[in-house]
Amino acid sequence: MVDFNLNDEHNMLRDAIRDFAENEIAPIAEQLDEKEEFSLELVAKMSDMNLFGLTIPEEYGGSGMDYLAYIIAVEELARVDGSTAATVAAGNSLGLGPVYYFGNEEQKKEWLPKLCSGKVLGSFGLTEANAGSDAGGTLTVAVQDGDDWIINGSKIFITNGSSEITGFAITQAITGKRDDGKKEYTCFLIPHGTPGFTTKTMHGKMMWRSSNTAELYFEDCRVPNSSILGKRGDGFKQMLSTLDKGRLSIAAMGLGGAQGAYELALKYSQERVQFGKKICKFQANAFKLADMATEIEAARWLLYRACWLHDNDLPFQKEAAMSKLYCSEVMSRVVNHAVQIHGGYGLMREYNIERFYRDQKLLEIGEGTSEVQKIVISRYIGC
């Protein structure tokens, strides 16, 4: 029997995070966006709400909740501000996740309690200047030297990569060739402060302007063999698994962002008067709002079903790609309609819908473009 009702724990979590987002994030989101300011104060407040490590077992300092709870949390943050949601999404999916799923016990005990506390963030170094959708185009190389590895290369567009509280970067590098002649990829957990490892914060972004985004540089960066995450040669599998789960959080950002944009448009249309009546009474606008509401509901249940599959240890990868594709593109359509309903005011920074319009575009690009999602889906359906 299919039950579409969320449990009390999920509903309480949603209410708590919605209240937090509206009272703590909304009043300063525009200011942070304008200044391109990453707020450590907000991170601390979200840490107090245990928004980092939601799905990690309590023995490592987490909350031990299911993946749907985490996705609801990201959704509610994105309903108010994409940058803040990105910090939590990357902190959990890209920072915590790989350590928990692939790290050895020593790495877990060293890093997971710090990450779950929110006092330390981790980043995931995959994308390079010439390796975006083609992750196999990685040029970063790690060469073994005795019991150490020497890493050279760079990464770009790394979320949470250079904040004051970022503790490490999980970095994929080429470590040789496999028996079949293909490149061997290995992931390394490299603490900040390691000689030869530097970061540079990226500015001038169109979207997620108050999220921390960085370039990572490795110049003869020497790390011990114990820095390998999991096993040598497992890097590509780890990357794919991380992206599968990460797609759910990006989908949640699309869903939450669409919900927030829809609510802004609905509220504005109920207040704005033209030709003697509220503009929501004009069929052109009413139909836009009806389409928005319908697509948001469809997106929500597609994503929640993908989470249910994950939480029940069932194959979820196809549905994760579908959710990421659909939710991000639903938000694209919703914000476009929402700006149109706002008219000229929708183009002004003083109206929040302008920020939602900018923030949306990243969702069709980050953690696999819409085109890549279609490739993934087509393979699952036998094409």
Q: What is the DSSP letter of 251?
A: H
Position 16 scores a pLDDT of 97
Residue 343 pLDDT exceeds 50: yes
Tokens 């820095």 locate to 227
Nearest to 187 by CA among 109, 243, 270, 253: 243
Question: Is the Cα torsion angle 301, 303, 307, 309 positive or negative in sign?
Answer: positive
Which residues are registered as beta bridge partners of 239? none
Using only C-alpha atoms, the chain has a radius of gyration, in whole angstroms, of: 21
Burial class (CB in 10 A: 0-12, 13-18, 19+), 178: exposed
For 55-67, the pLDDT digits (tens) are 999 999 999 999 9
Average pLDDT over residues 186-193: 97
Residue 174 pLDDT exceeds 90: yes
325 to 8, 173, 225: CA distances (angstroms): 29, 28, 38
pLDDT band at 4 (very low <50, low <70, confident <90, very high): low
Average pLDDT over residues 193-204: 98
User: What burial letters (b/e) apply to 261-281, b meaning 16+ CB within 10 Å?
Assistant: bbebbbebbeeeeeeeeebbe
Residue 162 pLDDT exceeds 60: yes
For 61-114, the pLDDT digits (tens) are 999 999 999 999 999 999 999 999 999 999 999 999 999 999 999 999 999 999
Phi, psi of 39 (to 5 degrees): -90, 110
59 is catalytic: no
Average pLDDT over residues 198-220: 97
The percent of residues above 90 in pLDDT, for the chain, comes to 95
Query: Distance (Å, rounded) from C-alpha 31 to C-alpha 26?
Result: 10
pLDDT band at 1 (very low <50, low <70, confident <90, very high): very low
For 8-18, the pLDDT digits (tens) are 999 999 999 99
pTM of the model: 0.95
The token pair at 48 is: 């107090």
**Are the beta carbons of 257 and 331 closer than 8 angstroms?**
yes
Q: Mean of the per-residue pLDDT values for the chain?
A: 96
Residue 228 pLDDT exceeds 60: yes
The percent of residues above 70 in pLDDT, for the chain, comes to 99
Average pLDDT over residues 159-172: 97
For 245-271, the pLDDT digits (tens) are 999 999 999 999 999 999 999 999 999
Q: Which residue of the set 75, 128, 329, 367 is catalytic?
A: 367
Domains recognised in the chain with CATH numbers: 8-121 (1.10.540.10), 123-234 (2.40.110.10), 237-380 (1.20.140.10)
Nearest to 167 by CA among 223, 227, 120: 120
User: What burial letters (b/e) apply to 214-236, b meaning 16+ CB within 10 Å?
Assistant: bbbbbeebebeeebbbbebebbb
For 19-42, the pLDDT digits (tens) are 999 999 999 999 999 999 999 999
